[in-house]
């Protein structure tokens, strides 16, 4: 049974609270400009789930995240599911069967929440594991066709490869440019193999120590995660796109970086407010230095 999504009022209340704590100005306006790439990872080591249950849990995480981004005013987002090379993994059948099983959940989700799904990957031939009679591509096409008129778009990368993407760059022409990347368990940016060509620019990295396992995350923690991505993007973007520093900025940045060696370390965690879920640790980077948050 899929995770029950929280009321929009709850999400917006937490988001407003978090934006105030993080000093985010004009969060509604900045959220419209923030395109997040959610790189799900670490789900197998994050829980004691086995088999296809791991990937069903990961699907719930992604669904909740998409719902929150839309609710707080985002226009679109990206979510990676699996790369083409995953077909060689021993547990690929679990990945595939898990994705087939969550189709009804996503169908119900998009109908209720006005979400458009756009699937990104090589679908020229079946990628079903041997012996699996159900063709996932048919379900994906159904979901795309059903949601074409919806405004908020979740771009879902399935059976994606860099080689396929470079041969089909026209596919990406109308897609928005990513400027925020959330990575779980791995302190990297976007690996080249998962890079939508021409669609990642001036990105801010959000690193999360824990894996993207839905059963381990509260609604509050997921809203915080979106707010962290927003803060990083809002702080960095002015300095990435301007050709020169505004008066006073150069000296302020020099002093905070070179002399003060600014390193923010905040703890926002409250066990009761997080439904007993364990703390999460996230790291972002502003124009002057790293920021570590426990939440």
Q: If you ran DSSP here, which 8-state letter would residue 24 be given?
A: -
Q: What is the 3-state secondary structure (H, E, C) of 60-72?
A: HHHHHHHHHHHHC
Average pLDDT, the chain: 94
pLDDT for 243 equals 67
- Encode pLDDT of 72-100 as tens digits: 999 999 999 999 999 999 999 999 999 99
- Torsion over CA: 251, 254, 259, 264 (sign): positive
Mean pLDDT in residue range 156-174 = 96
Lowest mean pLDDT, pick from 41-50, 75-84, 110-119, 285-294? 41-50
Where in the chain are the domains? 8-294
pLDDT for 158 equals 97
Helices (H), 136-218: 136-146, 162-167
Residue % of the chain over a pLDDT of 70? 98
Q: If you ran DSSP here, which 8-state letter would residue 102 be given?
A: T
CATH class for domain 8-294? Answer: alpha beta
pLDDT band at 4 (very low <50, low <70, confident <90, very high): confident
d(CA 109, CA 107): 5
pLDDT for 126 equals 95
pLDDT at 1 over 50: no
Answer for the pair 205, 181: CB distance below 8 angstroms, yes or no: yes
Q: If you ran DSSP here, which 8-state letter would residue 274 be given?
A: T
Answer for the pair 29, 186: CB distance below 8 angstroms, yes or no: no
Question: What is the side-by-side order of every strand in the sheet holding 115-120?
Answer: 115-120, 152-160, 76-83, 36-39, 178-184, 200-208, 281-285, 290-294, 264-267
pLDDT at 207 over 70: yes
Answer for the pair 211, 185: CB distance below 8 angstroms, yes or no: yes
Looking up tokens 């965690």, which residue turns up? Answer: 269
Name which of 268, 237, 209, 277 is nearest 64 in CA terms: 277
b/e per residue 12-28 (b: at least 16 CB within 10 A): eebbbebbeebebeebe
Q: What is the largest CA-CA distance in the chain?
A: 66
pLDDT at 160 over 50: yes
Terminal Cα distance for the chain, rounded? 27
Going from the C-alpha of 41 to that of each of 55, 82, 285, the distances in angstroms are: 10, 10, 21
b/e per residue 194-212 (b: at least 16 CB within 10 A): bbbeebbeebbbbbbebbb
pLDDT for 248 equals 85
Looking up tokens 């707080």, which residue turns up? Answer: 72
pLDDT at 163 over 50: yes
Q: What is the pTM of this model?
A: 0.94
């Amino acid at each position: 049974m899929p995770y029950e999504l929280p009321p929009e009022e709850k999400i917006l209340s937490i988001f407003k609270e978090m934006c105030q704590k993080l000093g985010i100005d004009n969060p509604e306006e900045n959220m419209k400009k923030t395109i997040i790439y959610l790189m799900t990872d670490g789900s197998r080591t994050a829980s004691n789930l086995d088999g296809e249950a791991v990937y069903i849990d990961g699907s719930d995480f992604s669904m909740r995240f998409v719902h929150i981004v839309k609710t707080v005013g985002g226009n679109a987002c990206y979510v990676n599911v699996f790369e083409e090379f995953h077909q060689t993994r021993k547990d690929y059948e679990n990945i595939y069967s898990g994705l087939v099983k969550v189709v009804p959940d996503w169908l119900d989700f998009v109908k209720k929440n006005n979400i458009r799904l756009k699937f990104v990957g090589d679908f020229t031939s079946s990628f079903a594991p041997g012996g699996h009679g159900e063709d996932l591509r048919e379900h994906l096409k159904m979901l795309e066709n059903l949601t074409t008129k919806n405004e908020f778009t979740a771009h879902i990368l399935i059976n994606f490869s860099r080689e396929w993407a470079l041969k089909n760059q026209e596919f990406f022409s109308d897609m928005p440019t990513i400027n925020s990347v959330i990575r779980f368990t791995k302190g990297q940016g976007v690996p080249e193999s998962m890079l939508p060509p021409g669609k990642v620019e001036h990105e801010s990295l959000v690193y999360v120590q824990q894996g993207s396992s839905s059963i381990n995350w509260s609604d509050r923690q997921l809203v915080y995660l979106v707010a962290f991505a927003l803060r990083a993007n809002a702080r960095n973007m002015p300095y990435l796109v301007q050709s020169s520093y505004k008066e006073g900025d150069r000296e302020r940045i020099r002093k905070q970086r070179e002399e003060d060696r600014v390193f923010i370390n905040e703890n926002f965690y409250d066990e009761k407010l997080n439904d007993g879920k364990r703390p999460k640790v996230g790291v972002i980077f502003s124009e002057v230095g790293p920021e570590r948050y426990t939440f």
